[in-house]
């Protein structure tokens, strides 16, 4: 089976024996999923795909010290996230473990050279093709702790915890702000779901109002950030890693609230938002509401109409719109 993505096509032509190696934060690729080694990913949907093939898949937050023969880190678009993965690997794996770093040129892989030099880690280039490059180094004992990458900031009267792998890292998103303004009048009582919880601002804000909050996100980084945000504000709520509704076991809510993502790295991806809307009636009580905010240009009117029969726009500031649809 041939690789689907450019980075995996570059790896496919290497002579390295990757048996037992860790594939860290890779894209979905059939060559990887049918091959050798173990996945380490913060994305629960990617882990589920590997597990469906009876392949080993780990979360960085449930992985203790380990000794694989080596690891391949797929350098992410978010530079700070790549640095976190690098620090985490150096902390988790024995010193001197072979480590390869691969990525697209337009995704910033060439910046790895400066990062490794700043950390005092040697590096050599192994290969370059398909506008991708592959570098090789070894893990080192570093003074820097991955925990130092976490940041804290204040928004909407709350103390928020943030990580480079989380949407809107370190800032109060304008769309979320518009959504909160509408929720002050529109949020019903009872059990509410924060879908795509990010740094936990919506979950914490709703918990502060006394709602019974469940928060979900496909990203382990977001789930952990939300747990930390709730704790920092003395609030409680259930936080789950979930690919849209996958972890909810048919549970229903009086409201589903969301600022859904529409990007996957550099590409626009409406898939998660489409599933959020399409399946929302199955997770709402009678009279339950879906309240979401989205960039004004996004085509959410038709899927809302199909799923609910009707909807209304609660707010529109020219850049963002807040929609509400009610399960009849």
Q: Is 15 helix (H, G, I), strand (E, B) or coil?
A: coil
CA dihedral 271, 277, 278, 279 (to 10 degrees): 100
Please list the residue range(s) of the chain that carry CATH number 3.40.50.150.
Answer: 6-146, 150-326
The residues that bridge with 47 in the sheet, in sequence order, are: none
The set of residues, in sequence order, having a beta carbon less than 8 Å from that of 267 and lying 6+ positions away, is none
* Rg (alpha carbons) of the chain, rounded to whole number: 21
Residues 6+ apart with CB under 8 A from 142: 87, 90, 91, 119
Q: Are 163 and 149 in contact (CB under 8 A)?
A: yes
Q: Are strands 132-138 and 98-104 parallel, antiparallel or unpaired?
A: antiparallel
3-state secondary structure of 22: strand
Length of the chain as a residue count: 328
pTM of the model: 0.93
The pLDDT, as a whole number, for residue 270 is 63
Q: Looking at the domain covering 6-146, what would its CATH class be?
A: alpha beta
H-helix segments, 58-158: 79-92, 112-118
Cα distances (angstroms) measured from residue 211 to each of 56, 191, 283 = 37, 6, 17
Q: Which two tokens stand for residue 91?
A: 């902390």
**Tokens standing for residue 33:** 């999923």
- Tens-level pLDDT at each residue, the chain (328 residues): 699 999 999 999 999 999 999 999 999 999 999 998 999 999 999 999 999 999 999 999 988 888 999 999 999 998 899 999 999 999 999 999 999 999 999 999 999 999 999 999 999 999 999 999 999 999 999 999 999 999 999 999 999 999 998 987 888 999 999 999 999 999 999 999 999 999 999 999 999 999 999 999 999 999 999 999 999 999 999 999 999 999 999 899 999 999 997 644 444 446 789 999 999 999 999 999 999 999 999 989 999 999 999 999 999 999 999 999 999 9
Angle of the 174-186 helix axis to the 201-208 helix axis, nearest 10: 20
Rounded Cα–Cα distance for residues 100 and 167 (Å): 27
Separation between Cα atoms, residue 106 and residue 198, nearest integer Å:
25
Total Cβ atoms within 10 A of residue 157: 9
Those residues whose C-beta lies under 8 Å from the C-beta of residue 168, and which sit 6 or more positions away, are 162, 176, 198, 199
CATH of 150-326, one of 3.30.1160.10, 3.40.50.150, 3.40.50.2020, 3.40.120.10: 3.40.50.150
Which among 110, 104, 111 has a CA at the least distance from the CA of 132?
104
Report the Cα 106 to chain-centroid distance in Å: 20
Count of Cβ atoms closer than 10 Å to residue 269 Cβ: 12
Nearest to 86 by CA among 98, 97, 75: 75
Evaluate whether 243 touches 45 at the Cβ level (below 8 Å): yes
């Amino acid at each position: 089976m041939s690789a689907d993505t450019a980075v995996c096509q570059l790896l496919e032509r290497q002579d390295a024996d990757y048996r037992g190696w860790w594939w860290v934060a890779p894209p979905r690729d059939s060559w990887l999923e049918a091959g050798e080694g173990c996945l380490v990913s913060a994305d629960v949907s990617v882990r589920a795909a590997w597990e469906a093939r009876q392949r080993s898949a780990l979360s960085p937050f449930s992985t203790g010290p380990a000794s694989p023969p080596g690891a391949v880190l797929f350098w992410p678009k978010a530079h700070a996230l790549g640095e976190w993965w690098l620090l985490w690997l150096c902390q988790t794996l024995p010193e001197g473990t072979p480590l390869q770093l691969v990525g697209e040129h337009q995704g910033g892989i060439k910046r790895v050279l400066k990062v490794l030099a700043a950390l005092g880690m040697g590096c050599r280039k192994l290969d370059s093709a398909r506008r991708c490059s592959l570098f090789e180094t070894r893990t080192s004992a570093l003074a820097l702790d991955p925990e130092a990458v976490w940041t804290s900031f204040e928004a909407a009267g709350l103390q928020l915890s943030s990580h480079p792998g989380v949407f809107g890292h370190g800032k109060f998103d304008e769309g979320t702000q518009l959504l909160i303004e509408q929720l002050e009048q529109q949020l019903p009582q009872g059990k509410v779901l924060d879908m795509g919880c990010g740094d936990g601002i919506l979950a914490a804000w709703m918990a502060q109002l006394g709602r019974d909050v469940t928060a979900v996100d496909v990203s382990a980084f977001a789930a952990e950030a939300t747990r930390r945000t709730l704790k920092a504000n003395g609030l409680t709520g259930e936080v789950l890693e979930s690919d849209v509704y996958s972890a909810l076991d048919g549970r229903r809510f009086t409201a589903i609230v969301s600022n859904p993502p529409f990007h996957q790295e550099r590409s626009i991806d409406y898939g998660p938002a489409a599933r959020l809307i399409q399946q929302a009636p199955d997770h709402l009580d009678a009279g339950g509401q879906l309240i979401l905010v989205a960039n004004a240009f996004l085509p959410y009117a038709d899927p809302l109409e199909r799923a609910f029969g009707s909807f209304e726009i609660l707010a529109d500031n020219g850049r963002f719109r807040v929609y509400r649809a009610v399960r009849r």
